């Protein structure tokens, strides 16, 4: 009923909902365990550096490069949310590691180019700050795509070795089988 009662009824001690998650906007926040993981920290750093770089370009006199940090900020937030909510398990049709890898590679390259341009071409202090934060973002994105690449390469190596083991086992079984068709 509206307005809510000033004193809520006390819940019984055996209520199964006592330890349930808090409903509302807190349900959209990523889990603390994910935020403390390496991937969570990288995504937080990517989104933070992208936002700071975006603000520096907005404050500058000629804001020619503000689109890239804004897009990368939004993409980093999307991947942070998607990884935290385990959407990669729910949407199997998308190749999440490849999308994340391409996002990190393109972000690192574009941040590197616009940071060099901002530092070398413009003398405005906010451009210099945006260039410095852009270089830091380049490093973070490069670390992220390096880790993604190593993870995918290890996964592919395991798949190749398992496939090679199956073919050698299958050949050995064919060689050992008695065939009277001669």
CA dihedral 119, 125, 131, 135 (to 10 degrees): 120
Tens-digit pLDDT string for the chain (182 aa): 444 445 555 555 555 554 455 566 666 666 677 777 888 888 899 999 999 999 998 988 767 788 889 999 999 898 888 887 777 777 777 777 888 889 999 999 999 999 998 888 888 888 889 889 999 999 999 999 999 899 888 888 887 666 555 555 555 555 555 555 54
Please indicate, yes or no, whether the overall pTM of this predicted structure exceeds 0.75.
Answer: no
| Nearest C-alpha neighbor of 51 from the set 28, 79, 25, 77 | 77
Angle at 160 between CA 157 and CA 165, to 5 degrees: 125
Whether 130 contacts 57, CB under 8 Å = yes
């Amino acid at each position: 009923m509206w307005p809510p009662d000033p004193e809520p009824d006390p819940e019984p001690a055996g209520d199964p909902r006592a330890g349930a998650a808090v409903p509302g906007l807190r349900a959209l926040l990523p889990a603390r365990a994910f935020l403390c993981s390496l991937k969570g920290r990288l995504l937080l750093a990517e989104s933070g550096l992208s936002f700071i770089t975006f603000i520096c370009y907005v404050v500058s006199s000629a804001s020619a490069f503000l689109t890239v940090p804004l897009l990368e900020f939004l993409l980093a937030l999307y991947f942070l949310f998607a990884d935290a909510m385990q959407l990669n398990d729910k949407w199997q049709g998308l190749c999440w590691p490849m999308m994340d890898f391409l996002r990190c590679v393109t972000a690192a390259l574009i941040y590197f180019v616009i940071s060099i341009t901002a530092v070398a071409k413009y003398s405005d202090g906010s451009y210099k700050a945006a260039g410095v934060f852009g270089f830091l973002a380049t490093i973070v994105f490069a670390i992220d795509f390096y880790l993604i690449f190593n993870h995918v390469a290890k996964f592919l190596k395991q798949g190749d070795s398992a496939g090679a083991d199956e073919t050698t086992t299958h050949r050995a079984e064919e060689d050992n089988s008695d065939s009277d068709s001669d």
